[in-house]
Amino acid sequence: MPFVMAIDQGTTSSRAILFRSDISIAASAQQEFPQHFPASGWVEHEPEDIWATTIATCRAAMHKAGASAADIAAIGITNQRETVVVWDAVSGQAIHRAIVWQDRRTAEFCTRLKAEGLEPMVTAKTGLIIDPYFSGTKVAWLLDNVPGARARAERGELKFGTVDCYLLWRLTGGKVHATDATNASRTLLFNIHDGAWDDELLKLLGVPRSMLPEVKDSSAHFGDSVPELFGGSITIRGIAGDQQAATIGQACFTPGMIKSTYGTGCFALLNTGATPVKSNNKLLTTVAYQLDGKRTYALEGSIFVAGSAVQWLRDGLGVIKHASETGPLADKSDSAQSVYLVPAFVGMGAPYWNPRVRGALFGLTRNTGPAELAHAALESVCYQTFDLWAAMRADWPDADAATTVLRVDGGMTASDWTMQRLADLLDAPVDRPVIQETTALGAAYLAGLSAGVFPEPQKFADNWRLDHRFRPAMSAATRERKLAGWARAVKGLLATDEGE
């Protein structure tokens, strides 16, 4: 039975998972790596840490499964999106640490571009807004702030890529400089309607075309790993950004289906089919996947803080020792208190898009303690998801029942408390699948589809299995009261920004 290996390169760790041809998991390995915060709002990774942990976890997973390179039909790569690496075209040496998607150093640059009235043009081409979140302004910063970088780039000596592209370059020994349409669609440099890099956007941000990778289907032959890495060459046949990979792993192939992934942040995607839907509610329009040259689009809402709110409880406040303690602690909270956490630790994502504001707690009393803080942190994830859900429902009027259920995945979905509260606040069922590794599964599926190991999308969707459906149990009056309190808290926080 052949294996398909998924490389899941995330924000805080790298993982490798071997899937059997029946989509069951044979083995997995995970390794964390350091985060670097050189200044307020800056987040960086060492590219060598990304590379080393990726290879180490691949080898560990293969060892656990007793698999050789010959046993693996294909590799699929999924990755933290928007994070940028720029490297020497000959040596492969990065010229700077990777600038991570959470990094806000280009906020002033983005503000200037908006003030020049450029955002409507950028949004029309990319489906995105002008925000430090996306790759384009990060590349511009590197070219302008690393000594000699711009001159080297203009001479064709530097390559740019998102993490998938960097890993592909390294895996193939520098032979292949390519990415897929989902990752390209997150750069601010890619025209999602034409399916190509856009010269006007490249000129705007000062990025030489010679730096850019080839853009391919999400399921395609990207190249082959050099034999010395895994004791033999393995073909690489699938790439997708992590949230698009999770959409595929959740089998959201039908227009109207929504998935939400809960990791460091929270990311909800609504499949809109072959038509890119322009949001009237500050959502993003993006590429969900590209197969056989045909793009499928999605509306996306991005929340910067989800699981990291629980990390803050643990590492910042010390009110818990393990994430699993959060739900039981929240259960002990005083129901008479209405404490709201707006976790804008790095600004606010969709649908507010304010990079300047910072987090705040509302409704504190002398009786507020660890239980109320845990309650507020978990609920903050649910409230933020509600904001995305409401925006998506407004942008995609129900033609059928597709958008009445939310499929969820990611580490936080292990918390029954959080998932139940999510169902209560959405007033909609929340479905948690049997296979929680949906991001890795999506990458494996894309690779296995190209390699002929996995079936066509609809047959794959038929194998999706439900672990638990959380049904709403909160009264309408309570739900409306709680949502109104959240809206007041957000309004209060936004009022602290001079731009409001």
Residue 264 marked as a ligand binder? yes
Rounded Cα distance between 359 and 430, Å, is 27
Tens of pLDDT along the chain (500 residues) come to 689 999 999 988 999 999 999 888 999 999 999 989 999 889 999 999 999 999 999 999 999 999 999 999 999 999 999 999 999 999 999 999 999 998 989 999 999 999 999 999 999 999 999 989 899 999 999 999 999 999 999 999 999 999 999 999 999 999 999 999 999 999 999 999 999 999 999 999 999 999 999 999 999 999 999 999 999 999 999 999 999 999 999 999 989 889 999 988 899 999 999 989 999 998 999 999 999 999 999 999 988 888 888 888 888 888 888 888 888 888 888 788 899 999 998 888 889 988 788 999 999 899 888 888 889 999 999 999 999 999 998 888 765 545 678 999 988 898 999 999 999 999 999 999 998 889 999 999 999 999 998 988 888 888 889 999 999 999 999 999 999 999 999 999 988 875 44
Residue 21 marked as a ligand binder? no
Residue 243 marked as a ligand binder? yes
pLDDT for 403: 64
Residue 379 marked as a ligand binder? no
Residue 249 marked as a ligand binder? no
Check if the beta carbon of residue 214 is closer than 8 Å to that of residue 177.
Answer: yes
Query: Distance of CA 460 to CAs 217, 361, 434, 447, 457, Å?
Result: 18, 44, 14, 13, 5
The reply to whether domains 3-243 and 250-433+465-500 share a CATH topology is yes
Picking from 251, 223, 217, the residue whose alpha carbon sits closest to that of residue 235 is: 223
Domain ranges of the chain: 3-243, 250-433+465-500
Residue 311 marked as a ligand binder? yes
**Strands, E assignment, 198-257:** 214-216, 219-224, 235-241
Note the Cα 177 to chain centre separation in Å.
22
In the structure encoding, which two tokens stand for residue 86, read together? 């720029």
- Angle, in degrees to the nearest 10, between helices 438-451 and 242-249: 80
Q: What angle do CA 214, 75, 301 make, to 5 degrees?
A: 65
Residue 91 marked as a ligand binder? no
In the structure encoding, which two tokens stand for residue 484, read together? 């109104």
pLDDT for 1: 66
| Three-state secondary-structure class, residue 250 | coil
Residue 403 burial by Cβ neighbours in a 10 Å radius (0-12, 13-18, 19+)? buried
Residue 11 marked as a ligand binder? yes
| Three-state secondary-structure class, residue 180 | strand
Residue 462 marked as a ligand binder? no
Residue 225 marked as a ligand binder? no
Domain 3-243: give its CATH architecture.
Answer: 2-Layer Sandwich (3.30)
Quick check: bond before 370 cis, omega within 30? no
Q: Which residues contact 118 (CB under 8 A, 6 or more apart)?
A: 130, 204
DSSP label of 315: I
Rounded Cα distance between 3 and 444, Å, is 9
Q: Which helix (H) or strand (E) holds 288?
A: strand 284-291
Query: Distance of CA 274 to CAs 14, 158, 252, 254, 407, Å?
Result: 32, 35, 14, 11, 21
Residue 352 marked as a ligand binder? no
Place of tokens 């690496």: 85
In the structure encoding, which two tokens stand for residue 185, read together? 């669609």
Select 250-433+465-500's CATH number: 3.30.565.10, 3.40.50.2000, 3.30.420.40, 3.90.230.10.
3.30.420.40
Residue 133 marked as a ligand binder? yes
Rounded Cα distance between 138 and 102, Å, is 11
Rounded Cα distance between 205 and 223, Å, is 30
Beta strand 178-180 pairing with 214-216:
parallel
Residue 436 marked as a ligand binder? no
